[in-house]
Amino acid sequence: MDKIILNNLQFYGFHGLLSEENKLGQRFQVDATLYIDLRHAGKSDDMNHSVHYGQAYELIKEVVEGEKLNLIEAVAESIATKLLTRFHLLEACTIKVTKPDPPIPGHYDSVAVEIYREKNDE
């Protein structure tokens, strides 16, 4: 399957279970893989046969910088749902949401969730 990949998108949001996360906010990183047949776009050179990745970026930004959610699982789900709804040619997507600096003790690079959703998922 063909895909459009948006790597390491950087945002600042206020998601989390802890009150300091909701008050102070933190960095979030998003990776989005958009599964779409790109054959017609490649042959026609016509954006109507693809997904405009600038618009996809803005949609992801609205979710991450928007309404506060408790779980990054909910952030990922919201992004996937909105992408699949907004772009009619999009068949599926993989969304990874990373918290580089979660407020938990220990030594680690980050914590993340990754989901895969198809257009016909319920």
- Summarised one tens digit per residue, pLDDT across range 1-52 is 899 999 999 999 999 898 888 888 999 999 999 999 999 999 999 999 999 9
Does the pLDDT value for residue 122 go beyond 60? Answer: no
Share of the chain above pLDDT 90, in %: 80
Domains of the chain are: 3-118 (3.30.1130.10)
Measured distance CA(57)–CA(47) in Å, rounded: 16
Structure tokens at 79: 């992004």
Task: Exactly one of 3, 68, 82, 99 is catalytic; name it.
Answer: 99
105 band by pLDDT with thresholds 50, 70 and 90: confident
Q: Is 43 a catalytic residue?
A: no
What's the mean pLDDT in 69-93? 97
